[in-house]
Structure formats: structure tokens, C-alpha cells
Amino acid sequence: MASPERSPQIPEENCEWCPKCGAALKTSEEIHKVAAPGTPVCETCGIPRIEPQVDHTNFGNAPPPVPGRGRNPLALLVVAIVAAGMLYVGFHMARRTADGPDAPAILGKSTPAPDFTLDKLSGGTLKLSDLRGKAVVLNFWATWCGPCRIETPWLVEMQKEYGGQGLQVVGVAMDDSGNDEIEKFAKDMGMNYPVLLGKESVGDEYGGVPALPESFFIGRDGKIVDRIVGLKGRAEIEDSIKKALDTQASASNLPAKPSSLQSQN
């Protein structure tokens, strides 16, 4: 007959092994103290085998274990459902904030547009807050962006059409290519509005600008009224421009000197 082997199921360091049956316990005396009617008995030596959870009760003042596996399946189920829900909702919220046209979590409507000063392609600098009192389309683009080549002519048309009402389109080139290439692109597209040489730090202020084109529509009061990510229809851009034009400039927001920015690259 094969001799009984020590049970590998009890990993506790304080456990000792019954010299007769190999069951795990603290002391051999506890075998008889703990064993209750119905406790499995070792077939080899007739000594009751102590269940693993019985051992755990011998440490400290822990409450009696729940019969079975010691884990409440209902509690685990609740935890699993809650975890699943949190993961799913969390990722969906992340998606909505990342690419929704409303994008309330990044730069919500009525949020003041972060101010910045950037170099203009044509020389000099432009500070966004100098445009207070105007409705601004802040358009992030790049020469390598195919959709930008569709959108840019629309912005050129909008600048012509609504410039007299106080619209100012501002292009921000998020481009690593040299100024020559940006200049060539601007010329090819007939850009009739200022082109700024973008910086990552400015992109970060506007939510990272992970993809192009991306436009922010800023009201006369310097607050964001709308945001469009990716190429959308011309009509959608025009609607957002109208929203920006419909805003009222507060007296404190007006710049000291009017900007003369038309047809400046």
C-alpha cells in the first residue's frame, strides 16, 4: 500500500504535518480538538483530516469561515459586474471626450480659449487675446493632411464672406516641414488669413490636437462656442461660424487696439 503523502494543499508556514496521516494542522492535539462529526477521516490511520479552513480559524480571532470555498460568489459577481460597468463606461467617456464634436471634458463650450502667442509665417507674432471682439476660427492643420486641403478653401471663402462681420480665421500649422513648404501650401490654397507656426505646447492647451484638421470656434468674448474634429461638411463649419459671430463681446474683452489681420500670412 502506498504510504500517505503530505498534503500539498496547505501552504501556511505555521502548519505542521500529522506524523500519522499527513494532514496539515498546527499541532497533533488539534486533530481531536477540532475534528467534528462528519469530518473526513484519513483512510490510512483513522485520524480525522482537518480541512484547510479550520487551520485558518486557529490564527487570531478570525470569524468562522463560510462553508465551501470561503469566497462569497455573490460578492464576486457584484464586483465583476461593477468592474465591467466601470471599464465600459470609462472607456466610452474617454472616447466621447476625445473625439466628440462637443468635447465638453477637454475644452467645453463657454470655456475661455487658452491664450497663446505664436510666430506668424509672414513674420511677427500673433497673440490670440488680441483678437477679442472678433469671432475666431482657430484651425489646426498641416501640409500632409489630406482633409485639410478640402477644408482650407472653405475657410478662405468664409473669411471673405464673414470677415466684414468680424470673423477672423487663424490657421495654426502643426507641421514639422520647413517654412518654405508651409508657405507654398498657404500660397497654393490662397490662404487669406494669418498662418501661425504651431507648437506642441499650444496644441496641448487645446486638448492635444491628436488628429487634423481640428477647429475651435471662439466667440467675440474669447470663449469657445464650438469645436469640430476632422473633416465635416462646409455647412457645419458655417453654422459654427455663425454661432461665434452671434456672441457678444464684453467691454472688458475688447482689445486696446484693433488688429489688422486680413490677408496676412
Partner 1 sequence: MISPRHISGILALAVLLAGSALAQSGRAPSVTMAPVGLVTAQRASRTKVPLYFRVAPGFHINSNKPKSEYLIPTTLRMDVPTDIVLGEIDYPAGKDVTFPFSPGEQLNVYSGDFTINLAVHPLHSVNPGKYVMHGTLRYQACDNAQCFPPKTLPVSFEVKVIKEPPGPRHNPAQSPHIHN
Which one, 236 or 246, has the nearer CB to partner 1?
236
CA atoms within 13 A on the CB side of 164: 3
Kindly tell me which of 53 and 247 has the beta carbon lying closer to partner 1: 53
Whether the CB-CB separation of 57 and 33 falls below 8 Å is answered with: no
Helix or strand holding residue 61 (H, E): none
Nearer to partner 1, 161 or 188 (CB): 188
Three cell numbers, residue 161: 464672406
Give the C-alpha separation, 151 to 236, whole Å: 11
Query: Minimum distance between the CB of residue 257 and partner 1, rounded to whole angstroms?
Result: 36
Q: How far is the CB of 150 from partner 1 (least distance, A)?
A: 5
Instruction: Supply the minimum distance, in Å, between the C-beta of residue 149 and partner 1.
Output: 7
Please report how close the Cβ of residue 65 comes to partner 1 at its closest, in angstroms.
17
Let me know: does 259 contact 124? Beta carbons within 8 Å.
Answer: no
User: Which of residues 17 and 144 has its CB atom nearest to partner 1 in the complex?
Assistant: 144
Distance CA 15, CA 26 (A): 5
Asked if 137 and 156 touch (Cβ cutoff 8 Å), the reply is no
The minimum distance between CB 80 and partner 1, in angstroms, equals: 4
List of residues contacting partner 1 (CB under 8 A): 69, 71, 73-74, 76-77, 80-81, 83-84, 87-88, 90-92, 94-95, 98-99, 142-150, 174, 176, 181, 185, 210-214, 229-232
Nearest-10 Cα torsion for 254, 260, 264, 265: -30
Is the Cβ of residue 108 or residue 153 nearer to partner 1 in the bound state?
A: 153
The set of long-range contacts for 2-6, using a CB threshold of 8 Å and a minimum separation of 24, is 3/44, 4/42, 4/44, 4/45
